[in-house]
Structure 1
């Protein structure tokens, strides 16, 4: 669309025939798909002005779209052609935006786009949208014939609405090969290698199916892998459970305080802050997450910028859990669910109140009328809703589900009869000890893996793939770099035929260790975490103990370790970057997210290999530079700036310590995110009710025992008098 068309004037015809979209049998529109850069100060990575202006229903631009769409609908329905037709409104969830882009001070280009579809990022013209529009209007038409939707053989279920729906279904069309159980499954070739005999499974995926990448997924992956200069990264995603650090801690009578509250992210937008104009250091006083009486300080260094450069920060819209409150919260007040634990001191103070006043415990089926973000929030009003929110949040973190399924036909030519290692019971979620032991068994199997070459032809099969997964509090996509529960040292630390050995310290670290009299060989990358860049999430079938068929969820992709920034690979080799298996648009970030300060990521699988794991080994999301957050930095760093050796729980979020120190461990599968939240709320109510009844029974029994003891004392006194 051109600027000339934006400036053209379009009015309603005389005596139009109005057509309504209220009777449309289908609707795929949602406001969650709208662009977020709505401020005139918004700039992109090139320094250009780049923002969107929503058009109203009666604006000239909208009138033109409504007229032409009305004519198209009238022709489709074979209405009389002797009158002008106009849509009363655009379909539900759709809105026109005018993009304004250009260099500051120069002529701004204006382009018109239609946003709102859950499956199409945007429509660029009326003719482009008409086939999709008519599909929405046609009750008898199951498939859309617009240029975007014809790429798929069936429409994938989108997860861009408020809740991400999906439930795995195994196609019953043809028998599928059974795979044995194993949280550690195998290393497989990502592309057939004809240079010699293959010692590991090799699969070639057909190209007869293409699934459309969801807009939410594309935006979330781009946000962490391509941070825009001049603003912090958008770390959190829609419907994730997070901790909000309150501006004013809610102080208790004995010095304890409630400094955080759980909430669910409902939206994320940018806000423009005035550019910094000095080189000084700004000190912010913030409440501590580890002490009830002290405050942590963080120094934020200002940076110079041209006067026209806008500084942008993310603001999250967060619905506070179990209370009637929803607020826009700056990014520096939001931390991951996995980054905070309620202290024992606070827990004891909260339960002490409930212990002595069980009759006052409220078993609420609705949210409490309380706002923890308010400056005048009182401790006595906060105790019960906080306990409810804490219980509900814990329940959410125990649930998971796969989302946005699509089917893929695979031509599997050869497969190893004997998996590398196997001890898991699949998606039933074993303990961390079993997971760790399984990886250790797998590690001992590498040396003899080439001898296990008993292969057979199994033909074609259909594989159910998924674009994402809700993993406890977190949203994970195929294409994400995630933390694994295992330490790097648990996976072939000395190397194997398919895995590189743990990296030695870099020159700087080696020199420091030698000066301290320590052996550098004891400080390899094995002491840190292990990462996977997820290429695909999929289901397999395996034979259970009772010979029944059981579904198991797995992830596959390249593995990475953290090495010192000045580390030099002794055996540099090209690692082939494979594309997604049947997904349009990039299936993974164009580049890896930023590594922790002082480190870089290093791929540890040899060329054309991918690792396959059960989802049980997913430790959680990787949060780039989260340890520089002003509320976490004072915990992980000493006053001298050194890493706090007792902060492994937080360091694991960046992989500086093993995933065994901090991992998500869901144990219950639910059909979608909405069911997870509803289930968590129900369990919180049940548990609080059970606790109240238990305390009341205990109080009644104690009172009865006291009364009996008092009666016995009176009888003894009477005997003495006699």
Structure 2
């Protein structure tokens, strides 16, 4: 612990508003007892000195905690100070070391959870006490068991300290700037690779190594369990709890309208601080007289309320679940982007203090002026765009599994069954697909049709020995196993920050490549794509169209993310480079009424990706859907457990496994497109956009013009709407901090270029005026109207 000397120059602000705690969990019995100064024979001291409310360090805490509490509770603008500590709390200064120059460490005692060492540690606990809700969960590090960096970032404390126009490209809108030098990630131990590694292998067999008595098994993160259950469990809620702490969203605000241009700001980017379940009692219609059984006259309707820290400003708002959208779901119009890029440079105020004072969502009927909103909104959009370029692995653990020595590779195997050309990068594959789209027509099914000549998964062939090293990964081989098997210890992770999104293992994610790019005619351990259902086939053929163009090949691929691990990649010049791999079962979207040839007569069909209890284990739709990877959640990560059920598929479709049972795909993180949002297209904020997309005429692009929307549910290829982060940051706190600093620097440079351009234009106009004044007068013939 670093030494903290008590401040000496903090005073109370003038005319403060005092804030009092309505409740407490404080206990005087928890105060330290060694409060008497005693100098031992070596001249050392070790005692706790009580600091009164008016001591400089106490004043500093009271002012900053009061400010954070007022911000969280949406109090009117003003200066807020804690009137006192919660009853049962007291601050002490720990003196330890030589009597003449002891070490100082300040603590706030009284909480049964532990002593608070800093202002940021105490703020979430103070907020919890201030809300006076005994059923709510405290978010401080001692109650939530999270790291302080995560908590500070999630609470939006960065907003009070200095510190894409379309989802495609995925980083979102950015204002023009000088060509930036390529930045290298500060943390070089994991890099995003330029090649896109893919393979299919058997699911590793977990091994339980002997552990000393009392050694705890690695536990599943609580947030991971709660987030996955929220998406996959059955619920009567109209909108599921899709969003997670720390994710970047668009939050609906009262429209900020510009009467001159007709433009409006309706959504503001923000970060989820936390969320809570909200319940409303709804009265049922009056019961029928002489009802045989008594009827409860009311029901409970539940929804989610998110606390959102709006970017660039110091305001936190509560938003209902129907008022927030995924960052990838909103497209800024070209006109609004232009308005953000070309305001008068002299009025483009980027002072941090002025930006934070702006309130995009004031109380009552008040709406801020559009001209006042341009600078803070441009800053918020720029922060969001920059934040989407960062990624990070979280919650590491060690997985032990057994492997057999590699055998000679058969002549035909695995994922190498790619038809046609073999582009070396994903971009080449996507360009090939785009060229195919442009040459095959304008309907959605035709443009996304599966053509063997353009199907490629951008996987550069690797020598077998190198592949073996890559798939067994950063492994420490140890004694154990049976026969020829060896035990491998692998570094794994429970989740990652992927740009704007929080992704956990065990959840279904979207991949960039369309289904037609993976073994369009089938391959070893890979099933061919499912064809069109009966209704789609009949409808298509009635119009004289070829139904072979339909089927799963036109849609996205999905992965149930069973594993995240580090791979050691041998380098030609020697040594290794560490990269991250994702592994899991692959799925496609099959029509509900498609007859699976691999399902025998009498077997029940699989609906929404969930196998029937009577389905045969040998069928791909049942067996591989329930195959259990190595880190299935049952509270502990090292043993298989019961998998989370797959989320709901889009209406009219079901999830169908692509790989044979007991196999999994292993691929580069670069092929991950982002989270899958079940039924997101029915969100109220998207109603108008979806309606416009469905009625868009073919001559204007038809349904394909909104492919980025359909991609959120996997109805079009993932690369139409993908999160594509580039730079690694160690945690979410660092991502938000760096995004804030980078955005401010970029916009200041943009403003300076605008000022220089305006000055040059003024000089040119003055020079032209001087030339006109010195020129001789010219005479022109005058036309006369004759009546």
> How far 1:513 sits from its partner (Å)?
1.9
Distance in 1, matches of 2:34 and 2:243, equals: 35
**Which shifted more, 367-376 or 463-472?**
367-376
1:262 to partner: Cα distance = 0.4
* Deviates further, 624-633 or 538-547: 538-547
State the shift of 1:670 in Å. 1.1
1:389 paired residue number? 380
Taking a change above 3 Å as real, the CA distance of residues 430 and 616 of structure 1, as seen in their structure-2 partners, is: farther
- Report which of the two has the higher share of strand: 1
Cα distance in 2 for residues equivalent to 1:360 and 1:511: 61
Tell me which residue corresponds to 2:263.
256
- Structure 1 residue 399, shift from structure 2 partner: 1.0
Aligned equivalent of 2:241, options 216, 234, 244: 234
Tell me the distance in 2 between the aligned counterparts of 1:259 and 1:112: 34
Cα deviation 1:531-581 (Å, max 9, x = unaligned)? 000001111011345444211111000011111122332213122421433
Change (3 A) 1:567 1:163: farther
Which residue in the other structure is 1:612 paired with?
Answer: 666
- Could you tell me which of 299, 309, 323 is aligned with 2:313? 323
In structure 1, which of residues 209, 212, 215 is the aligned counterpart of residue 222 of structure 2? 215
CA–CA distance in structure 1, aligned partners of residues 675 and 254 of structure 2? 26
Contact conserved, 1:211 with 1:584, CA < 8 A, in 2? no
How much does 1:515 deviate?
2.3
Asked whether 1:471 is paired with 2:483, we answer: no
Per the TM alignment, residue 635 of structure 1 is displaced from its structure 2 partner at its CA by: 2.0
C-alpha distance after superposition, 1:166-186 (max 9, x if no partner): x99979xxxxxxxx9852321
Q: Corresponding residue for 1:75? A: none
Provide, for residues 382-429 of structure 1, a one-character-per-residue CA deviation record: whole Å limited to 9, x for no partner.
Answer: 111111111110001111111111223443323467795699xxxxx9
Once the 2 structures are TM-superposed, how far is the Cα of residue 337 of structure 1 from its aligned partner? 0.3
> How far apart, CA to CA, are the structure 1 residues paired with 2:751 and 2:589?
48
Q: Give the aligned partner of residue 705 of structure 2.
A: 646
Q: Hey, what does 1:592 align to over in structure 2?
A: 646
Structure 1 stretch 359-368 or stretch 582-591: which is displaced more? 582-591
Q: Distance in 2 between matches of 1:635 and 1:16?
A: 60
Conservation of the 8 A alpha-carbon contact between 1:182 and 1:421: no
Please list the CA deviations of residues 178-203 of structure 1 after superposition, one character each: whole Å capped at 9, or x if unmatched.
xx985232101015xxxxxxxxxxx6
Structure 1 residues 595-622: Cα deviation after superposition (integer angstroms, max 9, x where no partner): 1111111111101100001000110000
* 1:165-564 matches, cutoff 5 A: 182-190=195-203, 205-207=207-209, 210-275=217-282, 277=284, 307-352=297-342, 354=343, 357-366=344-353, 367-374=355-362, 375-415=366-406, 432-433=427-428, 440-441=455-456, 459-544=486-571, 546-564=573-591
C-alpha deviation, 1:205, in angstroms: 4.5
- Match of residue 678, structure 2, among 596, 617, 624: 624
Moved more, 567-576 or 619-628: 567-576
SS of the residue 2:282 aligns to: coil
Q: 1:482 to 1:118 in 2, by over 3 A?
A: farther
Displacement of 1:430: 6.8
TM-score, normalised with respect to structure 1: 0.66
Distance 1:687 1:170 in 2: 28
Are 1:686 and 2:745 an aligned pair? Answer: yes
Does 2:732 correspond to 1:673? Answer: yes
Alpha-carbon distance in structure 2 between the residues aligned to 1:119 and 1:460: 37
Identify which range, 556-565 or 374-383, moves more after superposition: 374-383
- 2:595 is matched with 568
- Measured in 1, the distance between the counterparts of 2:547 and 2:588 equals 17
**Higher mean Cα deviation, 604-613 or 688-697?**
688-697
CA shift for structure 1 position 713: 4.0
Q: Which residue is 1:661 aligned to?
A: 720
State the distance in 2 between where 1:405 and 1:660 align.
29
Which residue number corresponds to residue 707 of structure 1?
766
Cα contact 2:456–2:517 (8 A) shared by 1: no
Long gaps (5+) in structure 2: 1-25, 36-46, 49-85, 90-108, 115-121, 126-133, 155-185, 212-216, 287-294, 419-423, 434-453, 473-483, 600-618, 697-701, 780-787
How many Å apart are 1:306 and its aligned residue?
A: 5.1
Report the CA distance shift for 1:516/1:121 in structure 2 as closer, same or farther (over 3 A). Answer: farther
Distance, in Å, in 1 between the alignment partners of 2:232 and 2:252 is: 25
- Equivalent-residue separation in structure 2 for 1:444 and 1:115 (angstroms): 47
Match of 1:73 in 2: none
Tell me, in whole angstroms, the C-alpha distance in 1 between the residues paired with 2:142 and 2:738.
Answer: 28
Matches of 2:270 and 2:136, distance apart in 1: 33
Residues 257-277 of structure 1, C-alpha deviations (whole Å, 9 max, x = no match)? 111110111111121224264
Distance 2:456 2:276 in 1: 47
Structure 2 SS opposite 1:338: helix
2:196–2:460 Cα contact (<8 Å) kept: no
Find the counterpart in structure 2 of residue 102 from structure 1: none
Aligned counterparts of 2:595 and 2:658: Cα–Cα separation in 1: 14
Mapped contact 2:590–2:653 kept (Cα < 8 A): yes
Query: Once the 2 structures are TM-superposed, how far is the Cα of residue 626 of structure 1 from its aligned partner?
Result: 0.4
Residue pair 2:693, 2:706 contacting (<8 A) in 1 also: no
CA distance in 1, matches of 2:137, 2:338: 54
Structure 1 stretch 466-475 or stretch 244-253: which is displaced more? 244-253
Residues 320-329 or 407-416, more deviating: 407-416
Which residue pairs with 2:113 in the alignment? 91
CA distance in 1, matches of 2:150, 2:341: 39
Find the aligned partners of 1:223 and 1:160 in 2 and give their Cα distance: 21
The CA distance in 2 between the partners of 1:260 and 1:628, in whole Å, is 18
| Residue equivalent to 1:147 | none
Number of equivalent positions: 548
**Farther off after superposition, 683-692 or 111-120:** 111-120
Does structure 2 retain, via aligned residues, the 8 Å contact 1:396–1:676? yes
Instruction: Note the C-alpha offset of 1:666.
Output: 0.7
Contact 2:455–2:520 under 8 Å retained in 1: no
Aligned residues of 1:396 and 1:677 also touching (Cα < 8 A): yes
- More off after superposition, 359-368 vs 233-242: 359-368
Secondary structure of the structure 1 residue equivalent to 2:752: helix
Task: Give 1:174's aligned residue.
Answer: none
Q: Quote the residue 1:580 is aligned against.
A: 630
Unaligned segments of structure 1, at least 5 residues: 1-11, 25-56, 67-86, 96-110, 123-155, 172-179, 192-202, 280-304, 424-428
| 1:88-167 correspondence to structure 2 within 5 Å | 88-92=110-114, 161-163=151-153
CA deviation after TM superposition for structure 1 residue 481, in Å: 0.5
Task: With the length of structure 2 as denominator, give the TM-score of the two structures.
Answer: 0.61
Partners of 2:285 and 2:258 in 1: how far apart?
36
Shift of residue 351 of structure 1? Answer: 2.8
Q: Do the aligned partners of residues 259 and 670 (structure 1) sit closer, same or farther apart at CA in structure 2, a change above 3 Å counting?
A: same
